[in-house]
Amino acid sequence: MFREENVPIQTELDQLSQKQQQITGAMTVEFEGEEKTLPQMGKYQESADRGVREKAYKVVADRRMQDAEAISEIYDQMVSRRDALGKNAGLANYVEYAFKGMLRFDYTPEHCFAFHAACEKEVMPFCAALDKKRVEQLGIDKLMPWDVSVDPKNRPPLRPFTDGADLVAKTRQVFNRLDPELGEMFASMGDGKNTSGIATGELLDLDTRRGKAPGGYQYMQDKSRKPFIFMNAAGLHRDVETMVHEAGHAFHSMLCDDEPLLHYRHSPIEFAEVASMSMELLTMPYWDAYYPDPSELARARRKQMEGSISLLPWIATIDAFQHWVYTHPKHTHQDRQARWLELEHRFGSAGARVSWDGLEKWRTHLWQRQGHLFGVPFYYIEYGIAQIGALQLWLRSVEEGEAVALEAYKAAMSLGGSRPLPELFAAAGLTFDFGPETVGRLVERVQAELEKIPD
């Protein structure tokens, strides 16, 4: 795929990507008498006070609008440069170029279209039912854009642990009960008290602190063949999700650490995320370690189960949008906005779930919030594919028992990246399919499971 003439185009694309990040990163707003970044504004969407949520939403949306045109123009340039990359390489369009470049040898755009159809047909009704319930619980007449993140019963945030050491102590109980072997592997990573990064040879760095880089991740240290988990734990439920998620990645690293070929100790994202996302689901029966109060436990499990399905339509929207963008590289801003609205309707994602009465101007630019579109085009559906794999494994644990599911998990993860995707899925007893039939079956089973969880 290498073409001499693509080298300067890649450089231009990197520069455009930096420009987009600079513009987005520089966005701040005045709120409650202080200057705040947009990530800092996120927490107001969980406020029980609807007036605060509305005010916070509007101030952020207005700030984004100020740069919306500049960002649209950056995107135009990116699309035309990327189209050139593909054509210079002798391919019909950038879609083909991206699929080859991302080593997607085991699935095609048609498989992605089947995923889109699955979201439209199987997931939309699920999400619509959740929204209807949310409106009733919140006691409002219609869902507005600032009503989607708050707890539907207006309860205060869950507080599952105090600090990193407490998080590790509780997570050890969870894994020990789920599977002693995984429990031992998790315990081998340390006690969570380390606050000095990776320099001291520690394998966990969990607590958030001033000056620490944002985010959470796991990586395999190739020389020592030991995993390392980094995160910014602040005592919230989403930190529990991150902890068990990253632990899943660490298990994957440890289970294939005897693989002689370095390249095979890392697997494609579509499967690597099965290792982590399935731990979010398989650990659920033991979350009483974090939530001794049964009503809090039910709330956390419900959120996890609902979220495992309701994230899919947004993934489909972003993926379908990109397929259209790069097969219609000469589109106008008007075409693009119209297409965006059409996709939102089709998948019932973000915009289509709420009322935009009087707020239409913000809606056509919602796509700009997904940073992947700019810096890492087409990289996103991986999470949908992996989630469907993780849900299949969860279903095996429900239908065939935890022991069977965990044995399959370990067998598949021990292969690392030494097999093509369909074989890795098959090794865990999962079908490498993300079309309507597979997704429909999973939605139905999640629905049945949710009915058992007290409200």
Best CA proximity match to 431, nearest among 394, 383, 392, 378: 392
Which pair of structure tokens corresponds to residue 63? 């700030």
H or E, element range at 423: helix 421-427
- Cα dist from 274 to 267, 286, 291, 293, 394, whole Å: 11, 19, 25, 29, 11
Where do the H-state alpha helices sit in 26-163? 38-41, 50-88, 94-101, 109-118, 124-138
Q: Residue 320 Cβ, how far from Zn ion at the closest point, in Å?
A: 23
- Is residue 253 near Zn ion by the rule CB under 5 A? no
Q: Which stretch binds Zn ion (CB under 5 A): 34-42, 201-209, 273-281, 321-329?
A: 273-281
Q: Residue 178 Cβ, how far from Zn ion at the closest point, in Å?
A: 18
Of 276, 310, 349, 368, the one binding Zn ion by CB under 5 A: 276
Q: Which stretch binds Zn ion (CB under 5 A): 149-157, 276-284, 395-403, 429-437?
A: 276-284
Output 20 or 276, the one with its CB closest to Zn ion.
276
- The C-alpha atoms of residue 259 and residue 251 are separated, in whole angstroms, by 14
All residues at 6 or more sequence positions from 5 whose CB lies less than 8 Å from its CB, including other chains: 88
Residue nearest to Zn ion (CB): 276
Output 240 or 325, the one with its CB closest to Zn ion.
240
Residues 202 to 221 in contact with Zn ion, rule: CB under 5 A: none
Q: Which stretch binds Zn ion (CB under 5 A): 274-282, 340-348, 364-372, 379-387?
A: 274-282
Q: Which stretch binds Zn ion (CB under 5 A): 29-37, 58-66, 269-277, 303-311?
A: 269-277
Best CA proximity match to 244, nearest among 195, 180, 287, 203: 287
Output 347 or 378, the one with its CB closest to Zn ion.
378
Which pair of structure tokens corresponds to residue 427? 């090794």
Q: Which stretch binds Zn ion (CB under 5 A): 85-93, 174-182, 197-205, 275-283?
A: 275-283
- Cα dist from 425 to 65, 192, 263, 281, 420, whole Å: 43, 32, 19, 17, 9
Q: Residue 249 Cβ, how far from Zn ion at the closest point, in Å?
A: 6
Q: Residue 272 Cβ, how far from Zn ion at the closest point, in Å?
A: 7
- Cα dist from 409 to 177, 226, 413, whole Å: 16, 19, 6
Q: Residue 243 Cβ, how far from Zn ion at the closest point, in Å?
A: 12
Q: Residue 278 Cβ, how far from Zn ion at the closest point, in Å?
A: 11
Q: How many residues in the shown chain lie near Zn ion by CB under 5 A?
A: 1
Binding site for Zn ion (CB under 5 A): 276
